[in-house]
Structure 1
């Protein structure tokens, strides 16, 4: 980990996700090609880990996508405050799938195998095939149960698919699962590429059965999506960018289109488009990638756009995930046109501060990064799952949206943290960076050793619902110090 400290600042500024907006979902890192898995009333988003690439002079350059071998996971139960679960090491020598070189555009599913919960992650090894990982929880630890690609050029029915990538998965009501994938445009066939596929998954979720069937998606390009609503199956995809004549019933370039069927393998009927290209809404285009999912009694679409990339004023190609509402027409079941924006969706419920909250849970932030930290047991052995922490420097802050302290309020606050430099002060404020001060945690200068310490402060003036700000500052008696802390988790005590 790089422990070099940035210049002393009074207060760092937020960028990308600006209060009170909900989009993009996070601004401390990128995340592309989102796929949603809802489990226990919480949505987990699995995203391609876009990372900045640099030229020899260390200037950011356009994303080449060639070095991506990890998948980022974030989750939320309120759709405003997102917990960063870090990165899944998927491809390469250090990944779960050592045979793979890349991990693009993940898809995830949950089912019970022999009475036990199992979670499955499907990913594209560039455009040459699709792999599968398995885990006992939505966040891991992940392993490769078959040690090879699940879908290859030898899989029946995929011989003519240009790009074997962008998986989507549906576990139907009868527990039969289906895998959707494919993309690309054969030469001379922009109107009818016939490169989308669907096939049955085996009961083990890591084998395929039978032959892949063609989904005749007009102007197909990439990004298969699948969901079921009122017993109708919706296959969604991104249309291609070829500049050819299109009639009014064809999807325009780079939009999310959809088809419907009464069976998960078709036949399919083309219905139209539902989401225009990101350039229409945000002034910066690129590819269009999405997933549709329900949470509570509402449906949502996760999609990516280069809004954070644009706000950072860096070369193009780095994508961030957004959310907006999905609505259906009564009777017909047609999906209404979706409006993408920075405002995003409403927070579903307040955040409960009286249980332990991960330090990597963020509504808005400034100057904050997150890190995966491999923890060790008492014998000095590494454990399988990472602890993900937030790193704050002087002037950095994290804001949590709509924290409910209740009528009686809070009496105390405990943070599990590790000082990397200091001393420092973690201020707790309400509703803004300079809002009412409700408590202060004094942080001593860093000491040798990897132990987490408990910082505590009494709390006054925190009742009812407020935004909560965690602000790291230098102590008044050490104005030139440059504190840096790792925040693992925190909780409040009831009054």
Structure 2
């Protein structure tokens, strides 16, 4: 069997966007904890018609939230999916899970994490955990916000939450969207409401945020005492008053209080179609990490590269800059993305599902609770890691693998999948029974800071093996 390197699709070296190419992920929301950024995303999954052809995304069967995290903003660890809604989900009363929002709060001296989600457009639920990656439970066994919640009776779409824990520990939830009949300019469907100290209850009455041409996608961040409410404008194609947000763009309002009153400013992010040639809805989250501000948003770049841009979205990252007067500069969305903010150390154990770039591979959940691994490894597939700091040099490489009937080799290359070969690790074929094993090989030539590529080769057309984790030795 001849060897040929497979090509990266969607996210290609040295670009940072979309942030991952082994899965889709829409409606991103960021949580900062333990020197990592966790991105929670609507788990877009391909839908097929009766002939096996990919059809337009209906969102109707999405009941999971995908989670990835990174400490450097270029190499991302895939934590898999949270089973949120449906018979197998934590919130069995819900049917869908869209547009997550996640937040951390110390309650009774304990780190507690909350994951808010939209049950389609009919209500908002909440899960809780003692870890940003779960396991998650439904602490109240029902929706947090419904039509019966005071102040939301006239909200067209009860969805798209964003949550703020203020400096005093008080929580607020922002949500809503939709356009009542012919009410494009002032839909009146954006809301803000106080959360209880437990973060799983609401207090008082939801208040209207008078967001011009509001459509969906609540966002909230606080900087230097100013609260920024951000949202996506609607797609009304008629004449708009001067100063109104154009269709399908991210706009912002400010206040000196978390519940308003609010002042409208302008839009800061055009529709994805302007940048990437494929339009659709616009959804974002703004966050600060190591004193730098970023915006996460989605676009159909991966599915476009795959030739199936039918509403399947992927998360992107770009810088967001506040001017001295507090206004926000226009964001230039692109494929390049953001700079890597720290190098990756190869001398600590790296989970295999930590990926900068890839070709052909998938990730899956293993038998052990929370264990992930790289799967779907075929001849010519590869994983790339950006900015790996070998320092004065590595002398050995070890990997935890699961042997399969195929077996094969992990080739270690620098700077390119076909770059300098620094070592090879033989993975034996399984002899009837799959088993996990630790393998080791010598390496030479790995010094300084380089991009690293794990290239997988084998002589069969079946899956070669699964990769759990790896590490170099100095």
TM-score range normalised by the length of the shorter chain: over 0.9
**SS class of match (1:174):** coil
Indicate yes or no: 2:417 matched with 1:433: yes
Aligned equivalent of 2:390, options 405, 417, 421 = 405
> Aligned partners of 1:45 and 1:145: how far apart in 2?
22
1:158-193 deviation digits (Å, cap 9, x = unpaired): 000000000000000000010000000001110000
8 Å contact kept, 1:104–1:166: yes
Match of 2:399 among 415, 426, 430: 415
Query: Following the alignment from structure 2 to structure 1, what is the Cα–Cα distance between the partners of residues 291 and 312?
Result: 32
Whether the aligned pair in 2 keeps the contact of 1:32 and 1:49 (CA below 8 Å) is yes
Do 1:373 and 1:389's aligned partners in 2 also have CA atoms closer than 8 Å?
no
> 2:357 — aligned with what?
364
**2-structure distance, mates of 1:88, 1:189:** 36
* Matched position secondary structure for 2:39: strand
Quick one: which of 18, 34, 37 aligns to 2:31?
Answer: 37
**Counterpart residue number, 1:380:** none
Secondary structure of the residue aligned to 1:150 is coil
CA contact (8 A) 2:21 2:357 kept: yes
Q: Offset of 1:56 from its aligned partner? A: 1.1
SS at match of 1:389: strand
Matched, 1:248 2:228: no
1:149 corresponds to which of 137, 143, 166: 143
Question: Equivalent residue for 2:469?
Answer: 489
Indicate conservation of the 8 Å contact 2:400/2:469, yes or no: yes
Indicate whether 1:179 and 2:173 are aligned: yes
Match of residue 350 from structure 1: 343
Q: In the alignment, is the contact (CA less than 8 A) between 1:166 and 1:223 conserved in 2?
A: yes
Please give the alpha-carbon distance, in whole angstroms, between the structure 1 residues aligned to 2:157 and 2:32. 28
How far did residue 374 of structure 1 move?
3.3
SS at match of 1:38: strand
Listed one character per residue, the Cα deviations across residues 38-89 of structure 1 (whole Å, up to 9, x for unaligned) are 1122100000000011111111111111010000000001010000000000
Q: What secondary structure is seen at the aligned counterpart in 2 of 1:84?
A: strand
Aligned counterpart for 2:426 among listed residues 428, 442, 448: 442
Q: Number of residue pairs matched?
A: 474
The answer to whether the Cα contact below 8 Å between 1:259 and 1:271 also exists between their aligned partners in 2 is yes
Give the drift of 1:393.
1.3
- Counterpart-to-counterpart distance in 2, 1:251 and 1:8: 55
Structure 1 residue aligned with 2:366? 373
Cα distance in 1, alignment partners of residues 19 and 423 from structure 2: 28
Q: Which of 455, 463, 472 is the equivalent residue of 1:471?
A: 455
TM-score (norm. length: structure 1): 0.94
For residue 292 of structure 1, give the secondary structure of its aligned residue in structure 2. Answer: strand
Shift of 1:469: 0.4
SS at match of 2:302: helix
CA drift at 1:116 = 0.5
Residue segments in structure 1 that go unaligned for 5+ positions in a row: 1-6, 376-382
Tell me how far apart the structure 1 counterparts of residues 69 and 98 of structure 2 sit (CA, whole Å).
Answer: 19
Contact 1:60 1:315 in 2 (8 A): no
Given that residues 198 and 213 in structure 1 are in contact (C-alpha distance below 8 angstroms), is that contact kept between their aligned partners in structure 2?
yes
1:37, 1:43 within 8 Å by CA — same for their partners in 2?
yes
> How many angstroms apart in 2 are the aligned matches of 1:230 and 1:390?
45
Query: For 1:225-256, what per-residue CA distance to the aligned partner results, in whole angstroms no more than 9, with x for missing partners?
Result: 00001110000000000112112210000000
Gaps of 5+ in 2: none
Matched, 1:133 2:118: no
